Amino acid sequence: MPSAVHADAGVAVVAANSLPVVIGNLQAWLMGILSALATLFLVLAGVYWATAGGDPAQVDKAKGALRNALLGYALAVLAPVLLQVVRGIVGG
């Protein structure tokens, strides 16, 4: 939690979080957003496939959505690793 520091002039200055806290927060947000998007694509793939009715173009659309969902889940799983690399680069 940032803490407020009061200066002599009556101006409040908010202290920034440390780098590990910022990266941890970024990791949580990134994993949540990627997981939500991947779930959306997974649901869309199911709807496309269920409503395809044998139409090859609709089945291909469903396969593309499923591929995007799997990619999103893979990125969500790899997010901590990628942020660990960023932490190592910036020296946190």
Q: In the chain, where are the structural domains located? A: 17-90
| 42 Cα distance to chain centroid | 16
Whole-number Cα distances in Å, 36 to 1, 55, 81, 91? 26, 28, 19, 30
- Whether 48 has a pLDDT exceeding 80, the answer reads yes
- Whether 36 has a pLDDT exceeding 70, the answer reads yes
pLDDT of residue 12: 61
The phi, psi pair for 11, rounded to 5°, reads: -95, 130
Question: What is the end-to-end Cα distance of the chain in Å, rounded?
Answer: 18
User: What percent of the chain has pLDDT above 90?
Assistant: 26
pLDDT of residue 57: 92
The phi, psi pair for 2, rounded to 5°, reads: -70, 145
